[in-house]
Every structure is written in structure tokens, then in C-alpha cells.
Amino acid sequence: MRKSTKDIIIIGFALFAMFFGAGNLIFPPFLGNMVGDKYILGIIGFICTGVGLPLLAIIATTKGDGTFETMASKIGPKFALIFASTLFIAIGPMLAIPRTAATTYELTLSPLLPGLTPFISMVIYFGINLIFVLKESSIIDTIGKYLTPMLILILSFIIIKGIVFPIGNIVHTNVTSVLSFSFIEGYQTMDALAGLLFASVITNSLKSKNYSKDEILPMTLKSSAIAIVGLTFIYGGLTFLGAQTSGFEIANLSKTGLLLLLSRSILGNLGSTIIGIAIGLACLTTSIGLLTAGSSFFEKISNGKLPYKVNAVVISIISIIIGCLGVDNIVKISNPILNVLYPVTITLIVTTLANKYIRNIKAVRVGVYTSLLFGLLQVIPSIKLNFIPLGKLGFAWLVPTVVSILIGHLVFYTPKQNSNNL
């Protein structure tokens, strides 16, 4: 096998593992249950944000030196610092880390130990996190290497068996605007945000293998195909299985409860226990990685004033408090936050990828701040933006952002615009 082919496969699996978050598995079945017989549109919308955007984020960041800071610094150094910090808080102590803990409690610990309270579960969970985060150990990496393939095999078996032997009839539901609904539901994976921050891992890996700058982007594109196929199969398959429950009377069932219902219906009680343990351990490896990255990030930007170990403890304490709220409540908290962060993220990604055509950096800055402004406005309950095109679908920010970039090009037009501005 040629070295480049081998590296493409390795990087492809690395991209898959990077975005294959165990906590994300609760969203596709819920989406399928909501959209019912329109599950194909649901899969397309969810894949766009749950798979497509994260990989575009990697590619956009790779066009520079592989770091989000370089891409965002074109908007302004303060913007880069504030937005990067906000992203780390969102995918760290505010949302993603406590969500892994809450998912572990609801899917793994509560079914096995019914008397265990959420608070005790969180304390134990983050105590284990801190053992690995504060003292470097290869044990968790070893577990992760074997755990991810095992979880993929179990999920693949569930999906294939569920396709061959359906657990229920797919019925029509009353959900409207399925494509836009599913697109926004994909925000919950938070992988596009993570992709901006973790793209440097892929870039540095390729550099260490002695690939030139011109070779890095094509290698990333080819590797992305592997990740796209894997993630599409898992997310699409789980959405389809969720659609098979659209006729069930499960109005009060939580997102984690729905995933347990699927696994129990297809694999039996023992099977649901096995998948619960596997997902719990996978959540642990994810949270350890996020906790480590977040603690290091805040130590770096504070020039050591916020020590790594102190950051880890503080993030853990915050995550314990938020984790006790439960998965569904964390998702409710995350909705407005992600509806602000994603418009800015999408604008940054698209304008970076289209830098040959969008060359005026001042126009891009106007577009980015417009997306931020309308992202904020659309999550304020008292402000109705339905009069704006696409506003009723949750995209009130899109048309104003595009218009502001066009106006910015006219206002800040210069005869010779540097094509390397982005």
C-alpha cells in the first residue's frame, strides 16, 4: 500500500473518531421519531450540520496554517480570542462535558444502579476524569482505541438488524419544515465548533509525516470521504430507527430513554446494558479529552495565570452542577447558545472557503458581525424576525449576512483587493 493511501485511511479514521461523540448518538433517534415518514429529509438536514459543516470547518481552517486563531484573527485579534474562548466554554464546562456526564448517568448508571442520585454520579464521574486529567496516563488512550471500534460494531449491528427486522411502522407526523428543523437539530452535535478548534491536530499530523503545505489540503479532502461515509451511516441509520418509533406512545420519553428503547427492542435487555456501558465509557474518554483541551487552552491564553490543574478542577465543578440538570435540560440551555454561535461559525467557514471570490476583508468583518447580531436577536423571545426571509425557519440571520457582505464590498471597494486577505 502506498504511503499516501495509508495516511489517507489513518487520517480518515482520525476525523471519524474526532466527530464520533457518544453523546451525539441521542439526537438522531429523537429526530427520526419527530419527523416520521419524512426521515430522508431529516437525515439530509442533520448530516449537513452534523457531518458536512464539521468537515468544512476542518478544510477551511486547513487553508491557513491549520489553526482557528489564524482564520479568526482576520476579523480581529480580540474577536479571535473572545470567540475561541466562547467556543471552548461551549464545548467544555457549559454544554458538552456535562452532557457526557448526564448521558452516562441516564444511559449507563441509572439503569444499573437505580438508587444512585445524579449528584453522586456526577461526583464519581468527574473524580475519575480528574484522575486521568491531572496525572498523565496512557490507560484511557488504550481504552479509547478498543472502545470506539467496539461501539461502532454494536451500533452497526443494531442499525442493520433494525433495517432487516423493523421494530415498528413509520407513520406521518405533524412536523413541518423538516429540512430546516433537522439542520438546526444538527447544531446539537457541536462538531462544527469543535472542528474549528481541533483542525490543528490533523494539520500537525500531516506535517509530521513530511507532507508539504500544498499536499495537506488534498490529503484532508480525501480523508474526509472516509469520515463522511462512516458518520452518515451511523447518524442516518439511527435516524431511520428512530422513525420506526414514530407510531409509539412515548410522548414523555427522554432522548436517552428513546435510545435505550431502541437498543432494548433490537438487542434485548442484555444488549441495552452492553450498549449503555459502551456509550458510558466512550463518553468518559470524550470528556477527558475535552477537559484536558479546555484546561490547557485557558492556561495558554492567560499566560499561566490560570494554571492547568486549577482549570481542570473548576471546569469539573461547573460541569457537576450543570450535569445534574439532566440531558434534556442541558439541550434546552444549549439551543439559544448554539443558535448564536452557529451563524457566526457558518459565516466564517463559508467566507474562508470562498476567499477567491470574497476578497474584501472589511466586507467579511461586516458579514461576521451581522451574523452575530441577528443570531443574538433571533434567540430573544420578545423579538420576532419572521418578516425576514427564512426567519420562520430559524435562519433570520442568513439573508442579512449575505446582503451585508455585498454592501460591504461596495462600501469598502478598492481597485486591487488582495486575494490573500483570508
Reported as half-sphere exposure (CB side, CA atoms, 13 A), residue 243 has a value of 22
Domain 1-338 has CATH 3.10.20.70: no
Counting Cβ atoms within 10 Å, is residue 290 exposed (0-12), middle (13-18) or buried (19+)? buried
d(CA 179, CA 107): 29
pLDDT at 221: 86
Q: How far does CA 62 lie from the centroid of its chain?
A: 18
Please give the average pLDDT of every successive group of 10 residues along the chain, which has 422 residues. 78 81 86 95 95 91 79 89 90 88 92 92 94 73 71 88 93 92 93 84 80 84 88 94 90 86 88 84 85 88 92 94 94 93 95 88 95 95 91 94 94 64 48
How does DSSP classify residue 36?
A: G
The Cα-based distances of 233 to 153, 155, 237, 295 in angstroms read 12, 10, 6, 33
Calpha distance 50→193 (Å, rounded): 11
The whole-number pLDDT of residue 149 equals: 82
Instruction: Measure Cα distances from 79 to 73, 234, 343, 369 in Å.
Output: 7, 35, 15, 10
- Domains of the chain: which residue ranges? 1-338, 356-421
Instruction: Please tell me the predicted confidence (pLDDT) of residue 29.
Output: 94
pLDDT of residue 206: 82
Looking at residue 16, what DSSP letter applies? Answer: H
Buried b / exposed e across 359-381, counting CB within 10 Å, b at 16+? bbbebbbbbbbbbbbbbbbbeee
Q: How far is CA 230 from CA 51, 196, 223, 227, 375, in A?
A: 10, 20, 12, 5, 31
Predicted confidence at residue 293, as pLDDT, reads: 84
Q: Check residue 106 and give its pLDDT.
A: 92
Please identify which residue in the block is written with the cell numbers 474562548: 85
pLDDT at 142: 63
User: Could you count the other beta carbons within 10 Å of the beta carbon of residue 47?
Assistant: 21
Neighbours of 223 (CB within 10 A): 24
Q: Which of 189, 171, 160 is nearest to 39 (CA)?
A: 171
Per the CB < 8 A criterion, the answer to whether 247 and 170 are in contact is: yes
